[in-house]
Amino acid sequence: MPDLADKTVLLGVTGGISAYKVAELARLLVKAGVNVKVVMTEAGQQFVTPLTFRTLTGNPVATTMWSDPGSPFPHISLSDEADLIVVAPATANIIAKMAGGIADDLLSTTLLAARGTVVVAPAMNSRMYLNPITQANLEKLRRMGVVVLAPGEGGLACRTEGVGRMAEPSEIFDAVASELAVTSDLEGRRVLVTAGPTREYIDPVRFISNPSTGLMGYTVAARAARRGADVTLISGPVELPCPPGVRLVNVVSAADMKEAVLENLADSDVLVMAAAVADYTPAQVAPSKMKKSEGVPELKFTATADILKEVAPRKDGRIVVGFAAETDDVVDNARKKLKGKDLDLIVANKVGEPGSGFGSSTDLAAVISEADSDATLTMMSKIELADLLLDRVTGLFK
């Protein structure tokens, strides 16, 4: 088990019957040397008293925004102090608040201000858990980098059988210990990540692009920040929130992306080029909207700059990671790109497969270096892929 003695965990206790189990989780964390602080919602206090957690943790229990006159901004101070936040039980209500950005009490406000890792342990009636709204909210949280611990099946408090039982305290403890073990292995490292598509405009209202949602790059940025890195994210146009603790640089075109990468390269130790940068751009951009009545236009294109090739002579000891989204001969094509662009690692990703590629939360992928004699594509979540990639990156520093 990793050394947890210098860690601080914030427990968010909400209004579910399994709140009584969280007392055991607090005991396990304290026994491991963790400094445990607790925030309880008003409903959570109906199941377990704040005195229980104060006795177990030795710390005052926060219950309202106004409970500590010495701290006018408890939602900020609590989130700043915590290496990790656990919400258990995570009711459908708090999950919906997190997904929607609602901040109407101390816990939800603290979660909105959180910069580090958040772990949620859902617990509710089966029908509430399986409701499409709850499932969509959980998927949104996963996309944001929240660690969701799947509930178990069995007897529920409502005297029915089904899914919805909160994960056992020992399981939550193991997940917390695992997350805490990797929260600082990139501390002091500067990571530059690109994400999303680029847009190559034909006229003021039309452009050529691709289906990239930016989810892979944003996930890499979020997980790198979670591991202590100083992260800059250069993003094409997407509809994703900037991960907590990440500096965002917005760009539009491939030329913009190139300029931003070269401007920020000197201040980075690692470059992860996850963006789907356009290969071609119109040779000329019409100054005004082209009219359909003028007939079908003839478009001529020029190649965009190859950013990775321009980075190669500027590597100067930096770790550079590329992505190869391929439909055929995925590993072979990725190896060619790895060698041809002087990359340290490449993520080979098969697109066009169900559940893999643009817009999907999973990828059929492999992380490959020149030393890897064998590489097998494996279906994994983008979070798992990002963590695997960062594991390989940290290995190159040793």
Per-residue pLDDT averaged across 84-104, rounded?
95
Backbone angles phi, psi at 13, to 5 degrees: -105, 120
**Residues with catalytic roles:** 158
pLDDT of residue 79: 77
3-state helix, strand, coil in the chain (%, to 5): 35, 25, 40
Q: Does the structural domain 8-181 have CATH classification 3.40.50.1950?
A: yes
Sequence-distant (6+) residues with CB within 8 A of 339 are 370
Residue range(s) occupied by CATH 3.40.50.1950 in the chain: 8-181
- 349: part of which helix (H) or strand (E)? strand 345-350
Check residue 2 and give its pLDDT. Answer: 62
| Residue 226, pLDDT score | 81
Least confident of 40-54, 253-267, 303-317, 356-370: 356-370
Of 270, 188, 265, 195, residue with least CA distance to 233: 195
The burial of 149, by beta-carbon neighbours within 10 Å (0-12 exposed, 13-18 middle, 19 or more buried), is given as buried
Residue ranges, comma separated, of all CATH 3.40.50.10300 domains in the chain are: 190-397
CATH of 190-397, one of 3.40.50.970, 1.10.1200.10, 3.40.50.10300, 3.30.70.240: 3.40.50.10300
Answer yes or no: pTM beyond 0.75. no
Q: Which residue has the higher pLDDT, 307 or 67?
A: 307
Backbone angles phi, psi at 321, to 5 degrees: -120, 130
Token pair listed for 59:
């710390």
What are the b/e assignments for 338-351, b being 16+ CB within 10 Å? beebebbbbbbbbb
Cα–Cα distance for residue pair 157/16, rounded to 1 Å: 9
**Confidence band, pLDDT 50/70/90 cuts, at residue 52:** very high
User: Which pLDDT band holds residue 375 (cuts at 50, 70, 90)?
Assistant: confident
Asked whether the predicted pLDDT for residue 70 surpasses 60, the reply is no
- Return the pLDDT at 262: 96
pLDDT given at position 158: 62
Nearest to 70 by CA among 60, 84, 83, 57: 60
Asked if pLDDT for residue 72 goes beyond 80, the answer is: no
- pLDDT for position 68: 59
Q: Which two tokens stand for residue 338?
A: 């790895």
Residues 220-245: tens digit of each pLDDT: 998 898 888 999 999 999 998 888 78
Smallest CA-to-CA distance from 11 within 70, 83, 105, 64 is with 83
pLDDT at 354: 81
- What confidence score (pLDDT) does residue 367 get? 95
